[in-house]
Structure 1
Amino acid sequence: MTSQRKRTAILISGRGSNMRALIEAARVPAFPAEIALVLSNRPDAAGLAFAKENGIACAAVDHKIYAGREEFERSMQVLLDLHRIEIICLAGFMRMLTPWFIGQWQGALINIHPALLPAYRGLDTHRRALDDGVKIHGCTAHFVVPAMDEGPIIAQAAVAVLDSDTPETLAARVLAQEHVIYPAALERLAAGRLQVQGNRVFCEDGSGALPAPLRVPAAS
């Protein structure tokens, strides 16, 4: 019987913490996605070594040698086509993507963001949340659209903000939840269970119905 697992690429720029969580999840034979490529814009990204040690094809396309973003992305696209990629997961990929590239992967390009979108788009989310005195923080898995840190939300997980928190301690608890919801989001996308209606994402329950959006219990 031919495997129907979706060939998935993970794009990284650094150590690839979420990449590791996705690779671990995909070790399960029943997981509907296969991690077929890890691609980085930095040849020295630490995550490449981990992927190679785990028998996953790796590649680096150094953005610094290209005149512009689209030229860089077209080189990435060649590699993605070569590896017959069907889904892309951004995992700490620190490059803004152009509308051209995003358009090539509409509905098949997802990201994990360390905040409860639409709050705290951009960088330094944990410090900003502490500075604002919020009591709930978290992370979001979402489809990628041209606007930064926007796009239909697939899953979110919340963590309580403690009085003793620093940006580092808060980041560590949020990261643990990223490692839970990102593989869950990929699993549902690869299985064809997600439906987008406007800006909302629904997860089919197997009967063809569209119940409430996927929810992950809050974690302390």
Structure 2
Amino acid sequence: MKVAIFASGNGTNFEVLAKKFLKHEIPGQLALLFCDHPQANVIERAKRLGVTWASLTVKECGGKAEYERRVYQLLIEKKIDFIILAGYLRVIGGPILANYEGRIVNLHPAYLPEYPGLHSIERAFADQRKQTGVTVHYIDAGLDSGPIIAQKHVPILPTDTAKSLEQRVHDCEHQLYPAVVKQILTNLLEKEPTKNEKSDS
């Protein structure tokens, strides 16, 4: 099973996941990092780890529809079976959503349905909540509204700053996301027909 990770920024979750794929601690082959920002640090992480990467922007594609089409074509060329979003700051749409239904997972730094969208950690901190969290969910056409797979609370301590809370949320992400991805891919691979079963059908 070939896997692509989509990311837009620094790439800490990408690196955690990539290292586990490379050590075979998560089943499947990490075949591609896709990034929508060609200067993002996550690309440097991919280069350092020897992971194949590609980058496209909406601007260079002339619009969102063509961008989505070209990204989908890239996935077909790389024979990608499953997509992991790790800090990818665009809404998935068009042919990707239609053709990868149930095969795109996302990590969100809040306890959904609380704080969908951007700046979730900062918003929870500003609201002086007692806790926030991390959510792993499938992608649908809405904004962070797909079926929830796993969640974990992260307490907001009286001594927290926005920066310290962000770090503890990221620490939680780095624990939860690889474990959930491993379980999902293990389950999918167990359901795949063997070569003999394919030849008999």
Q: Same fold by TM (over 0.5)?
A: yes
Residue aligning to 2:173: 178
Residue aligning to 1:102: 97
Residue aligning to 1:164: 159
- Kindly indicate whether residue 42 of structure 2 is the aligned counterpart of residue 57 of structure 1: no
Matched-pair contact (CA < 8 Å) for 1:12–1:92: yes
- Kindly indicate whether residue 145 of structure 2 is the aligned counterpart of residue 153 of structure 1: no
Q: Which amino acid aligns with 2:20?
A: A
Deviation at 1:87, TM superposition (A): 0.7
Listed as ranges, the matches of 1:1-220 within 5 Å are: 6-192=1-187
Residue aligning to 2:193: none
Q: Which amino acid aligns with 2:141?
A: P
Name the Cα RMSD after superposition: 1.6
Deviations 1:168-193 (A, max 9, x none): 11111000111111111211121126
TM-score by length of 2: 0.88
Question: For 2:179 and 2:50, how far apart are their aligned partners in 1?
Answer: 22
Matched-pair contact (CA < 8 Å) for 1:26–1:35: yes
Question: For 1:108 and 1:193, how far apart are their aligned partners in 2?
Answer: 10
Q: Which amino acid aligns with 2:69?
A: R
Larger % of helix: which?
Answer: 2
SS at match of 2:32: strand
Matched-pair contact (CA < 8 Å) for 1:33–1:186: no
Matched-pair contact (CA < 8 Å) for 2:26–2:181: no
Question: For 1:30 and 1:127, how far apart are their aligned partners in 2?
Answer: 32
Question: For 2:119 and 2:153, how far apart are their aligned partners in 1?
Answer: 17
Question: For 1:132 and 1:45, how far apart are their aligned partners in 2?
Answer: 30
Aligned length: 189
Distance 1:50 1:127, change over 3 A: closer
Distance 1:180 1:30, change over 3 A: closer
SS at match of 2:2: strand
SS at match of 2:157: coil
Deviations 1:99-152 (A, max 9, x none): 542122111101100000011111121222123222121111110011011111
Question: For 1:30 and 1:94, how far apart are their aligned partners in 2?
Answer: 27
Matched-pair contact (CA < 8 Å) for 2:2–2:82: yes
Question: For 1:114 and 1:54, how far apart are their aligned partners in 2?
Answer: 25
| Structure 2 alignment gaps of length 5 or more | 190-201
Deviations 1:51-102 (A, max 9, x none): 1221111111122122321210111111111111111111111112225421
Q: Which amino acid aligns with 2:133?
A: G
Percent identity among equivalent residues? 35
